[in-house]
Amino acid sequence: MTPRMLVPIALFVAGVSLIVVAVATGEAEVSLFLIFPVFSGSSGIFLLGTLLIVFSFIVGLSLMMMGQAGLARGALEPLPTAKEIEAGAGTRYGGVVLVGPVPIAFGSDKNLAVFMLVLGIALAIVFLGILVLLA
């Protein structure tokens, strides 16, 4: 990840933080639709948080498109091929996707996938705990 990609991440975190502040101060509320949280509010803090989240997606997509344009012009080095990655043999990857409270884990090897699953379960428990506390 390039340092410039930290900008949309920071915008997203700032937006989520503002929404959390709005919920904590009572200027916004959280409700549950099936298993999905729904946030609603009418305060300036909530609106700013929502706008920062939307803006983070726009900035992130713009930076990715600019990176692809730079790659097409030859300004950036291309990503390594599968053979180059296998030659390194030290590259590992993994991730977890939370669909509501259900974690879906994946990884380049079994140990990393299990770690991601444990992390996903922990995040789901924290998420559900927060919802119970706010309800």
Q: pLDDT tens across 113-135, in order?
A: 888 888 888 888 888 888 788 76
Residue 14 pLDDT > 90? yes
Asked whether the predicted pLDDT for residue 78 surpasses 80, the reply is no
Q: Is the pLDDT of residue 75 over 70?
A: no
* Residue keyed to tokens 């030290």: 90
Neighbours of 124 (CB within 10 A): 17
The reported pTM is 0.53
Q: What per-residue confidence (pLDDT) applies to 2?
A: 66
75-109 in b/e form (b: 16+ CB < 10 A) is eeeeeeeeeeeeeeeeeeebebeeeeeebebebee
Look up residue 35 and give its two tokens. Answer: 């298993």
Confidence of residue 48 (pLDDT cuts 50, 70, 90): very high
Calpha distance 125→102 (Å, rounded): 10
CA distance 30 to 40: 7
The whole-number pLDDT of residue 60 equals 87
CB 131 within 8 A of CB 98: no
